[in-house]
Structure 1
Amino acid sequence: MGLLTGAGGVEEGEEMWEILHRVKRTFERSLPVTGHVRLEVRTESGDVAVREGADDVVRVRGRIWVSGPRDEVREVLEEIERHPPVEQIGSTLRIGDLPSRLERDNCSVAADYWIEAPVDTEVQVEVDSGDVKIVGLRGPVVAKLGSGDVEVARIEGDLEVQVDSGDAEGGQLRGRAWFDIDSGDLDLCDVRGPVRAVVDSGDVALADLGPELELSVDSGDVSLASAVPDGARWRVYTDSGDVAVCLPRGSRCVMEAEASSGDLDCDLPLVVETDDEGASARGTLGEGATARIEISTDNGDIALRWRDR
């Protein structure tokens, strides 16, 4: 199996053409475990998926692609067969640590992993280039991506997500959640624990939030649609971007919104003031309000509306 990148005679001074090969290898492992399990997954190039499985075993399915000159591909495959990228030391499992001897000038390696682990497994995933999906674990869960998208769902414990370039999506999060995104969008829905998020460049969509939110966006728009839990503390700040907030009728909260340089469109029964320094809206919704919402944007518009459904 190979790809012919060039053919014909080679004269002195001409670029050398050669046959490149791309070979796939797959493997499966079932590793018995007891008690607390820590799972560490690392890949420079490739996708990673982790989900809940049986209580007493971690199942790993891997697909490794090796591309390059035929001789180098053969050497790399032989090295992988001697040292497969699965290691178990006590209750810690490491997946994806390929031997450093695999480095070749003209050879590249990519690896995808599908993993099933006990629901109580502690997970740390690091991917330089690729997508990550983690579903149905108690955690804690840590996901760090250089370039790629991440999806997390049904996480009961604490969650930490860092993305240099890519989108993040989360749903049914029950523990504390922290997101740090350099460039990409953030989409969260059905969150019960505290959320802290920093987005340098990207849009943010939030729905059905819990009692605590701290959101800072350098450049991007924010949309928030949620009932307001009693005692909630939500703070949203954008340096440059619009903010749209939709609350169900009957919400009870103290609200402050300020647009330093932009318009403020308010359908809620708040006091709106406009002057040369921007626009603001303040007031209390409902009786006996214990929740507080603070919205601020330096350069952008704010819209405050009722959500009819």
Structure 2
Amino acid sequence: MTLPAAFLAITIFGIHFGGSPMLKSTEHFSIPVTQQLPLDVRTNSGDITVRAGTQPEIEVTVIKRAPTQAQLAQMHVARRIGARAIHLATVFQHGCWWNCGDISFQITLPAKTALTLHTNSGDVRVRAMSASVDASTSSGDIHVDGAAAERSDVVNLSDESGDITLRDIGGTIAAETSSGDVSLRDASTSALTRAKLSSSSGDISLFVPRNPSIRLDARTSSGSIRTNLGIRVRGQYAAERAAAQLGTGRIQVHLSTSSGDITIDGAP
């Protein structure tokens, strides 16, 4: 099923991006939610921002930027409601490979909507959600503040060049960046099942909540491990490792970086 266009407001004006003038167009539309379907959003270039709302439908604001009016006119968002998911995908000018502009999303939707989000170049931000999240960017940061309220939920984050920041997360977490830092704090001790945070070149930070129940394994090939929890750190040459059980050890946490430091702190 293809959704009809529902333009509520469109504005176009000149701005500067990378030293060259850009034209900007804003579009807003709503997607009625008759059943609980996951949302899949993909853009070649641009940011994706998603937050939970109180309304039953999905509210979408699309921000398009391009160097020329002709390019701007050919940029649009393809919308489709499938049997298993709602899909939003960007379409750029045919044959354009460089300086094609970008398309960003600002989305408000029910908190229990599972998300799949991807941008080749841009940031991904998720706030106050309570379902699974699968997010990736080739160049940009990923911020998730609230997701995966149930142990069965999954948060899978992949970043080639950028930082990953997580807060108030449950379920199973896998967060990996090739070049950037990864941090997790205020994880839900009741809903969290396991967490794996890794970076090829960057630092890893974990803030352990009060009364933790964690089985911890932390390793860096070239860097140091710092902690205020009294965990023993063993080193050999440039590598260091720390392993410990805090509380009952119900939650498995694995931290690793090839080149970077690891910080493990807890509440005093």
Match of 1:212 in 2: 172
Q: Which has the higher contact order (CA 8 A, sep 6+)?
A: 2
Separation (CA, whole Å) in 1 of partners of 2:103 and 2:12? 18
Contact 1:150/1:168 (8 A) holds in 2: no
Match of 1:63 in 2: 10
Contact 1:264/1:302 (8 A) holds in 2: yes
Separation (CA, whole Å) in 1 of partners of 2:112 and 2:23? 34
Deviations 1:188-243 (A, max 9, x none): 01112311111000011110111210111100011210233366110111000001
Q: Identity of paired residues, percent? A: 23
Match of 1:223 in 2: 183
- 2:129 is equivalent to residue 173 of structure 1: yes
Q: 1:161 aligns with which of 117, 129, 137?
A: 117
Q: CA deviation at 1:249?
A: 2.1
- Provide TM-score, normalisation by structure 2: 0.68
Structure 1's 117 and 297: CA in aligned 2 closer, same or farther, altered over 3 A? same
Structure 1 unaligned blocks of 5 or more: 1-36, 42-58, 68-107
Separation (CA, whole Å) in 1 of partners of 2:11 and 2:23? 7
Q: 2:236 aligns with which of 267, 272, 275?
A: 275
- 2:218 is equivalent to residue 257 of structure 1: yes
- 2:250 is equivalent to residue 290 of structure 1: yes
Contact 1:62/1:111 (8 A) holds in 2: no
Deviations 1:21-69 (A, max 9, x none): xxxxxxxxxxxxxxxx76488xxxxxxxxxxxxxxxxx541427599xx
Contact 1:178/1:196 (8 A) holds in 2: yes
Q: CA deviation at 1:173?
A: 2.1
Q: CA deviation at 1:110?
A: 6.0
Contact 1:141/1:160 (8 A) holds in 2: no
Deviations 1:47-92 (A, max 9, x none): xxxxxxxxxxxx541427599xxxxxxxxxxxxxxxxxxxxxxxxx
Q: 1:233 aligns with which of 178, 181, 194?
A: 194
Contact 1:40/1:125 (8 A) holds in 2: no
Match of 1:246 in 2: 207
Match of 1:27 in 2: none
Contact 2:215/2:251 (8 A) holds in 1: yes
Structure 1's 250 and 237: CA in aligned 2 closer, same or farther, altered over 3 A? same
Q: CA deviation at 1:148?
A: 5.5
Deviations 1:94-131 (A, max 9, x none): xxxxxxxxxxxxxx986421112324476555555555
Please tell me the root mean square deviation across aligned C-alpha atoms, in Å.
Answer: 3.2
Match of 2:160 in 1: 200
- Provide TM-score, normalisation by structure 1: 0.60
Contact 1:256/1:295 (8 A) holds in 2: yes
Separation (CA, whole Å) in 2 of partners of 1:302 and 1:296? 8
Contact 1:142/1:161 (8 A) holds in 2: no
Contact 1:268/1:305 (8 A) holds in 2: yes
Structure 1's 212 and 132: CA in aligned 2 closer, same or farther, altered over 3 A? closer
Separation (CA, whole Å) in 2 of partners of 1:150 and 1:240? 29
Contact 2:229/2:266 (8 A) holds in 1: yes
Contact 2:171/2:193 (8 A) holds in 1: yes
Structure 1's 254 and 197: CA in aligned 2 closer, same or farther, altered over 3 A? same
Match of 2:28 in 1: 114
Q: CA deviation at 1:165?
A: 1.1
Structure 2: which amino acid aligns with 1:175? A
Structure 1's 109 and 201: CA in aligned 2 closer, same or farther, altered over 3 A? closer
Contact 1:152/1:171 (8 A) holds in 2: no
Match of 1:33 in 2: none
Deviations 1:146-184 (A, max 9, x none): 845555555422211111111111012222211110000
Match of 2:267 in 1: 307
Contact 1:220/1:238 (8 A) holds in 2: yes
Structure 2 unaligned blocks of 5 or more: 15-21, 59-83, 91-100
Structure with the greater alpha carbon radius of gyration:
1
Separation (CA, whole Å) in 2 of partners of 1:124 and 1:248? 32
Structure 1's 217 and 143: CA in aligned 2 closer, same or farther, altered over 3 A? farther
